[in-house]
Amino acid sequence: MYAEERRRQIASLTAVEGRVNVTELAGRFDVTAETIRRDLAVLDREGIVHRVHGGAVASQNFQTTELSLDTRFRSAPTAKSAIARAALKYLPEPHGGMFLDAGTTVTALANLIAEQPHARDWSIVTNSLATALDLANKGMSEVQLLGGSVRAITQAVIGDTALRTLALMRADVAFIGTNALTIDHGLSTADSQEAAIKSAMVTNAHKVVVLCDSTKMGNDYLVSFAGIDDIDVVITDTGAADTFVRALRERDIEVVLAE
């Protein structure tokens, strides 16, 4: 197992269970205690866990701090690539429509969409500058970028203009990214205006597919934009804790573990 995958699993376990122990983790992953301590040090620096004597505890709930777009693109690239590939199964039929939000894993999916056989038949609505530009550069003409203000940290279009436009639209599928996912608080993010756009996409789509790497499971951000019962499919990586996956499936949510 690569260090990145092991750290994803440690982060997921910590978020779901609340606390992890160095000795138990070393046995679970068949590595030395020193390796686990290094993993916990990395996760602590990234703000994913807090180190304590003998192990680590989950980060404080209801976070508000956001990483830069460049940092988020570099975070868990292997997992995001696998999740994006798995999401191709849920693309609509030719001539269907989809919402793509401004999540970085959704952007990874957008990079693959243009390569699909029926790419030019789909209608796509997005609030992501990066996604709109990438698809346009690849020759896709049925791409609508929502109008409004732009959040610099995420390069996402937000505001009343975008919301009014979305209110008039419907899509077969919404592909949604999230900063965090819990059973109680659902999908959450740090900014209320960006949350409003995500919420409108969720509301106006026939099917909601959430792209969420395992480090986000069990965490909470300040603003909830969708409840757990609003979700149809969660695509995550194999680092997701078994207890969390079971909890989602018990709510009749389809969970895909991308290899």
Its CATH architecture, for the domain 69-258, is 3-Layer(aba) Sandwich (3.40)
CA 206 to chain centre: 19
The residues near 155 (Cβ < 8 Å, ≥ 6 apart) are 69, 102, 128, 129, 130
Longest CA–CA span in the chain (Å) reads 56
pLDDT for res 141: 82
What is the distance between the alpha carbons of residues 108 and 122, in angstroms, rounded to a whole number? Answer: 17
Which pTM was predicted?
0.77
Per-residue pLDDT of 126-165, as tens digits, reads: 999 999 999 999 888 899 999 999 998 889 999 999 999 9
Higher pLDDT, 100 or 61: 100
pLDDT for res 58: 75
**Could you tell me the two tokens for 121?**
């038949």
Instruction: Indicate whether 171 pLDDT > 90.
Output: yes
Among 52, 50, 75, 51, CA closest to 60? 50
Phi, psi at 21, each rounded to 5°: -115, 135
The arithmetic mean of pLDDT across residues 231-250, rounded, is 92
Per-residue pLDDT of 187-229, as tens digits, reads: 999 888 999 999 999 999 999 999 999 888 888 887 889 999 9
Among 39, 44, 38, CA closest to 57? 44
pLDDT for res 70: 56
Q: Are strands 171-177 and 205-211 parallel, antiparallel or unpaired?
A: parallel
Per-residue pLDDT of 67-87, as tens digits, reads: 555 555 556 678 889 999 999
Among 198, 193, 209, 195, CA closest to 258? 209
Instruction: Indicate whether 256 pLDDT > 60.
Output: yes
CA 193 to chain centre: 17
pLDDT for res 62: 47
pLDDT for res 210: 98
Instruction: Indicate whether 44 pLDDT > 90.
Output: no
What is the distance between the alpha carbons of residues 156 and 167, in angstroms, rounded to a whole number? Answer: 18
Q: Residues of CATH 1.10.10 domain(s) within the chain? A: 3-58
Instruction: Indicate whether 255 pLDDT > 80.
Output: yes
The arithmetic mean of pLDDT across residues 35-48, rounded, is 86
Residue-by-residue DSSP string for 34-100: HHHHHHHHHHHHTTSEEEETTEEEEPPSSB-----HHHHHHSSHHHHHHHHHHHGGGPPPTT-EEEE
Q: What is the mean pLDDT of the chain?
A: 88
> How many Cα atoms occupy the beta-carbon half-sphere of 149 within 13 Å?
8
Its CATH architecture, for the domain 3-58, is Orthogonal Bundle (1.10)
Q: Residues of CATH 3.40.50.1360 domain(s) within the chain? A: 69-258
CA dihedral 47, 151, 159, 201 (to 10 degrees): -60
Q: Name the pLDDT band for 65 (thresholds 50, 70, 90).
A: low
User: What value, to the nearest 5°, has the Cα angle with vertex 99 and ends 165 and 75?
Assistant: 120
Q: Are strands 180-182 and 19-21 parallel, antiparallel or unpaired?
A: unpaired
